[in-house]
A and B are shown apart, each in its own frame.
Chain A
Amino acid sequence: MALLQIAEPGQSPDPHKRKLAVGIDLGTTNSLVATVRSGESVTLPDEQGRHTLPSVVRYLAEGGPEVGHDAYAQAVADPFNTIQSVKRLMGRGVADIKKLGDELPYRFERLDEGMPYLSTAAGVKSPVEISADILRTLQRRAEDSLGGELTGAVITVPAYFDDAQRQATKDAATLAGLKVLRLLSEPTAAAVAYGLDEAAEGVIAVYDLGGGTFDISILRLSKGVFEVMATGGDSALGGDDLDLALANWLVDQLGIAAGLGSADARYLTEQARSIKERLTDEPVVETLLAVAGVEKRVCIDSDQFGELIHDLVARTIRACRRALKDAGVSVAQVQDIVMVGGSTRVPQVREAVQQFFGKALRIDIDPDRVVALGAALQADVLAGNKPDSDMLLLDVIPLSLGLEIMGGLVEKLVPRNTAIPVAKAQEFTTYQDGQTAMAIHVLQGERELVDDCRSLARFELRGIPPMAAGAAKIRVTFQVDADGLLNVEAKELSTGVESRIQVKPSYGLSDTEIERMLKESYSFAQEDLVLRNLREQQVDADRLLHSLEQALIEDGAALLTPAEREVLQAAMMQLQELRAGSDHRAIESGVKALAAASDEFASRRMDASIQRALQGHNIDEIEEGR
């Protein structure tokens, strides 16, 4: 009867209660939130019935920020305080921002710190904080609409995002108080939105031309499993660049010299975007432009526009070819081409893609919403609402991970397109007699020189005993989780001296910074913070207890001796008692203790489930493998 005591009503999460989970497409231009309702994935509108939220945040001297349509409306009038396309700055260093140059009409601050901070009327803001403000707005919308607190969210990122960009996105979610069930690549989300309805099998190409990024992914779909075979693209090429190409042409047509103010530049970009959108349906567009004291009627036809964007589109096709090669499939093997992102409405883009693949394109789901819809489907599964679902999304890392070695070269430990999660270890040695420390420089990218790759982190392994050069053995382990986030660990093998870090981009936010920002963002008093901590620990305790109860029911008799069972149940009772108290630290250590006590049981269950998966096959086959 011990089990019944453990599962007292109201103390364990009710397994039958549906969890509220959402999919969030945190886009460069627009963001969306979607959820699964009565088995169908739907995007959630705001109070005015608008589904897309412009990814625009305007900071005011007083009061909270404006997010979305209101902010967007003020973008031209208040350019420095109104931040658009912040996704382009996520996980970026100052050097990257300088490369973008005049395209970003913001005031940057603290350029010496490596990470770009923006100066606004509400103070200095990091891209992570700005993204968190967008996420908060979507979270509030979802909670209002669904009538409860969210269990978690699947947030989409471009497949081509490197570790720094993914980490920044996850930090933004943490800052907004959202539990991230998974960072999912946008193309995979899009394929899910299409794939599940049609139960397709085969190779799918997802061509995703978003506002600020271009991704091409090659996926294999088989019995509900979406496997990313290869991914490629360009994280600094998007629909915005089509607008920009057209805006530059407009500047030429108007005969305005360089040195436009940022408000004028915005005006022209807006006009360019609207002309681009009109050209989707109209062969010729004529507009009256009035900027910088010049007024002129400008006319452009779709062929002219096609010429302006030709090189940009050709770049995307080159990336498609390379992704197919990486995946080891031919153009003819691709069965479906899924189009994602508003810019895939541009007829010249569609033509080029259709011509390259030689097949009709999938355009029946709104290309602006398809990513959020797919993310919501996965969030529903990950929250535990569909225990029988076979759906599984297997991802790869988009860019190789490596270490700096002698001569400014990069040694790759995990090549691009490796399936994640992954763990890779390699041994290095000292190169000087008596060397007691080793600098570890973690890089991401395809090039051979350190200077051409993205520096993710540097740390030092100290306390190596002095030995002759080449005698010490240092094992460096890279672990990439299912979100594509990296952990690095270095260990001197003879002494066991260890050093491990969660890789944070050199210019990213540190954990303490995030914690400080979190605290600052709480408008409530200190007691509330304590309560929040307590509730978080209680949820953790419940989750662990609940999983163990289930595990005991399923496998307790088969995998544990009666004595082991008793020990485990005693440990569970202990946590149960701690959980009833109000000391969040005690609950936290209780969770750790129970987790340690049940480690062996959890391992045995994994092994048993492997055996079960292999059963049903020829027993001799398995025996032979022994």
Chain B
Amino acid sequence: MDIKQNFFEFYGLPEVFDIDLGLLSQRHLELQKKLHPDRFAHLSDQERRLSAQYTAYLNEGYATLRASLLRAQYLLKLQGIDTHNESSAPMDPAFLMQQMELRERLEDAPQHADPEAELAALGEDVEQMMAPLQAEFCSQITVPAEASLHAAAAAVRKMQFLDKLRREIERLEDDLY
């Protein structure tokens, strides 16, 4: 496949963190209507194959731009920083300490008197820690300086930790059902 545009370009959106999510999903539907393989079901194999490739790219783009963490990671990647696949990066010790405490709470949650409520509370706390990190990322990524880019990457690394925690909370919640 040879689609040269990045996801922002593909959706005709500015390359920023604060995108208009309503506009994104509106454009997603408009593009789906043009590109989806079902639009080519009665046409040639070639057009169907091509449309499947475009739609796969479209779907990946939508999933990436829609989720704040993925969008932040993608913006960094466009700047040449891959925080998703890097093996290890130095982290702020105070932050790590806090993470360990949260993990202990997570481990104890199933034994809690009301595990469902405890997990929900933990989830709330994670979201509250996520918000300032997003704001930090958003303000740093717009500054065209090396130091700001690294500060933005540091914020994303923290968001990755929290996101992992978020998914583990979800898994425990699934187990409770």
What is the interface of chain A, defined by CB distance below 8 A to chain B? 19, 151-152, 181-182, 222-223, 225, 227, 318, 321-322, 325, 378, 381-384, 390, 392-394, 418-424, 479, 481-482, 540, 543-544, 547-548, 595, 598-599, 602-603, 606, 609-610, 612-614, 617, 621-622, 624-626
With known contacts A482-B37, A598-B46, A419–B63 Cβ distance under 8 A: yes
Contact A421 B55 (CB under 8 A): yes
CA distance A479 to B41 in the complex (A): 18
Contact A182 B38 (CB under 8 A): yes
Partner of A610, one of B31, B36, B43, B56: B31
Residues of B contacting A609 with CB < 8 Å? 34-35
17 inter-chain pairs at a CB distance below 8 angstroms, sorted by A residue, are A321-B177, A325-B170, A325-B173, A382-B38, A392-B32, A421-B55, A421-B56, A421-B59, A422-B56, A481-B52, A543-B42, A544-B45, A595-B45, A602-B50, A603-B2, A614-B12, A625-B15
With known contacts A318-B177, A381-B38, A423-B56, A625–B44 Cβ distance under 8 A: no
With known contacts A382-B42, A602-B50, A625-B8, A392–B33 Cβ distance under 8 A: yes
Interface of B is mostly: helix
Partner of B44, one of A390, A423, A424, A543: A543
A194 to chain B, nearest CB (A): 19
With known contacts A419-B63, A421-B56, A613–B41 Cβ distance under 8 A: no
CA distance A503 to B32 in the complex (A): 26
Interface centre among B34, B39, B50, B54 (most CB of A within 10 A): B34
Interface size for chain B: under 10, 10 to 19, 20 to 34, or 35 or more residues? 35 or more
Contact B32 A394 (CB under 8 A): yes
Contact A182 B59 (CB under 8 A): no
Residues of B contacting A540 with CB < 8 Å? 44-45
B45 to chain A, nearest CB (A): 7
Residues of A contacting B10 with CB < 8 Å? 610
Residues of B contacting A227 with CB < 8 Å? 29
Contact B46 A595 (CB under 8 A): yes
Closest Cβ neighbor of A483 among chain B residues: B37
CA distance A321 to B116 in the complex (A): 13
Residues of B contacting A547 with CB < 8 Å? 43-44, 47
Partner of B12, one of A318, A384, A595, A625: A625
Residues of A contacting B2 with CB < 8 Å? 603
Closest Cβ neighbor of A427 among chain B residues: B85
Q: Is B51 in the interface zone, CB < 8 Å from A?
A: yes
B96 to chain A, nearest CB (A): 25
Contact A610 B59 (CB under 8 A): no
